[in-house]
């Protein structure tokens, strides 16, 4: 049982390049999330999904796109990377969402992305 797996773990991009971060979960969770974490800023929600085929904007969605074509996968895309997108990205999933009981989110190990 792998839980939440993020690919890749590290990546260096040049400004203007594109890339896709993959998040896979094997817990049959409905909800999935992408966060970024920068020093002193805590975790900020980029996009989230409440089920297969759905996506929604979080706190800081600009410059990112997401897709949830399969229930177990949540992809985060950077179409034209910028140095401001240098960050650690975390993916998470949960069975339920929001403030409901038993909304326990499970996190991946993170992707460290550097844009030069």
Partner 1 sequence: LAKTTQPISMDSYEGQEVNITCSHNNIATNDYITWYQQFPSQGPRFIIQGYKTKVTNEVASLFIPADRKSSTLSLPRVSLSDTAVYYCLVGESGGSQGNLIFGKGTKLSVKP
Least CB distance to partner 1 at residue 83 (A): 22
CB of 74 to partner 1, least distance (A): 11
Annotate 5-34 with b (16+ C-beta within 10 A) or e (fewer). ebeeeebebeeeeebebebbbeeebebbbb
Piece of 21-29, 49-57, 67-75, 78-86 that binds partner 1 (CB under 8 A): 49-57
Is 77:65 a contact under the CB 8 Å cutoff? yes
Binding site for partner 1 (CB under 8 A): 4, 31, 33, 35, 40-45, 48-50, 56, 58-59, 90, 92, 94, 96-110
């Amino acid at each position: 049982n792998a839980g939440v797996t993020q690919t890749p773990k590290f990546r260096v991009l040049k400004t203007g390049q594109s890339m896709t971060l993959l998040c896979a979960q094997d817990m049959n969770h409905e909800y999935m999330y992408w966060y970024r974490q920068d020093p002193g800023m805590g975790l900020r929600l980029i996009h989230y999904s409440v089920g297969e085929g759905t996506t929604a904007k979080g706190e800081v969605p600009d410059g990112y796109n997401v897709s949830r074509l399969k229930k177990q996968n949540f992809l985060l895309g950077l179409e034209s990377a910028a140095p401001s997108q240098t960050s650690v990205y975390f993916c998470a999933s949960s069975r339920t969402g929001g403030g409901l009981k038993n909304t326990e989110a499970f996190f991946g190990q993170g992707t460290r992305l550097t844009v030069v």
